[in-house]
Chain A
Amino acid sequence: MKAFKTLFKTEFKLSLRGMDMFIFAICMPVVAVIILGSIFGNKPAFDGASYSFLEQSFGAVATIAICAGGVMGLPLVISDYRSKKILKRFKVTPISPTVILAVQVVIYAVYSFASLILVYATAAIFFNYHLNGSWLQFLGAYLIVMVSMFSIGVLVGGIAPNMKMAGIIASLLYFPMLIFSGATLPYEIMPVTLQKAADIMPLTQGIKILKATSLGLPIDSVLAPVIVMIVLAVICTGISIRFFQWE
């Protein structure tokens, strides 16, 4: 526990010194809310909709930080520490690899929750947003999406043979998901064919759950995505722990 606390404190400081997560996970989602709010305001999501466009997009924007941390931050930091042989140095100490991974996962979780609070505050203060669904359900959904996306990141960081490959895989996951899963560009305004293509991305499924819970729509409509996300998390976490490599 002492190791976890000290590592967490220091690694978090190092991450903040790096600035990239601050920009991509903290600033970018807030900017996205401001843009969406200013353009669409509180117009209804579609003709006759009972909720506004911003209300519909809230869950999606809240995942920008999850996406940045999960499929960009985590894989890069893990493969960076392996290629710099920092993990090798840890190997000749008593620490368990799970603690090292857990520290990074918790750091990105902190970024995600900080981003969620900021996104909510911005939407509430400037655009009079409020969550129609239950906070408990929404937070539960947020947690499932986060765990699932992070497990993908840990897997990529864990098995990518080198830093360059990790960077390529991370970019291949991050940019399409950021743009086409609905996190930034609203899913609802995409053509149907693009929506179908986007549906194979895990984040798209995650955003469906968040949209339903934030709008207070019936949960059973998103049961399939919930199961997909949980199964994904279990598989990815299992593989990354089983195949963890120090070097």
Chain B
Amino acid sequence: MESVIKVEKLSKSYSNVTAVKNLDIAVRRGEFFGLLGANGAGKSTTIECILGTVKQDSGVVSILGMNPQKDRKILFERVGVQFQEANYQDKIRVMELCEITASLYKTPLDYENLLKQFGISEKLKSPVSELSGGQKQRLFIVLALIPNPEVVFLDELTTGLDTRARRDVWNSLSSLKEKGLTILLTSHFMDEVEALCDKIMILKNGKSIFYGTIQEAVASTPHEKFEDAYLWYTEERGEENEGI
């Protein structure tokens, strides 16, 4: 099967500090891929290099067989993005932000339906700045889905959402998966990763320390729960013996 997102030997450093080193990622159509790791491990840098908003030092990146820097205008008709920080104009209202976003694409989805699906349709006329953290988060997921994308990038998918809202978001995304949507997401919640992701990569100091399925991750550690396995991978092994 074709790789929708393909990353080969990706490296990027900021003034001599390595952000990511030698990453290889291949995400197939219909797959949900999770990029995990502590804050500063290189998740956002990886996403930004894949999207072309940050220029990598070396390595090759392609989405849907296209170069995100060179084929920007064609590629981003088919790709939706939610960045970690919500960026929007002062005083703009929910409806206006959705309207602008929809106007950028040739065949956008009906944003009122999406807002309803994500439980924020009653906020249509509110200023975006007056939404709660969780509502903003859902709004920006909606914006990422407006282009009716084949691939979606979600940086910190459900940070700031309450339990109910997180479940609703998972369900909505799962139903999109059945339609063949491909997602690359980052998350700090292991239950979420378990519920959504087919494959994961765990990053530590910019390097990949695990790549595979969740079952494989658990099986390769002495633990039985995925969260413990994740911690086992990300902990400083050297420090374990030193403490106390």
Contact = CB atoms under 8 A, between A and B. Distances in A.
A6 B53 contact: no
A87 to B, nearest CB: 9
Contacts of B87: 84-86, 88-89
B88 interface: yes
Contacts of A94: 72-74, 76-77, 104-105
A5 interface: yes
Interface stretch (A13-21, A60-68, A186-194): A13-21
Which bucket holds chain B's interface residue count? 20 to 34
A96 interface: yes
A17 B53 contact: no
Contacts, number: 67
Contact of A7 (B76, B90, B100): B100
B99 A92 contact: no
B96 to A, nearest CB: 5
B53 A91 contact: yes
Given A10-B100, A93-B105, A247 B53 contact: yes
Interface in A91-113: 91-96
Contacts of B83: 85, 88-89
A18 B77 contact: no
B81 A92 contact: yes
Given A93-B104, A94-B76, A96-B73, A18 B99 contact: no
B76 A6 contact: no
B176 to A, nearest CB: 19
B91 A17 contact: yes
B89 A81 contact: yes
| Chain A, interface SS category | helix
Contact of A14 (B74, B77, B90, B102): B90
A246 interface: yes
Interface string A1-45: 011011100110110011000000000000000000000000000
Nearest to B143: A89
17 contacts: A2-B103, A3-B104, A10-B99, A10-B100, A14-B89, A14-B91, A85-B87, A86-B88, A91-B52, A93-B76, A93-B101, A94-B72, A94-B73, A94-B77, A94-B104, A246-B53, A247-B53
| 10 nearest A-B residue pairs (beta carbon) | A6-B103, A85-B87, A92-B81, A93-B104, A94-B73, A3-B103, A17-B91, A10-B96, A94-B76, A95-B104
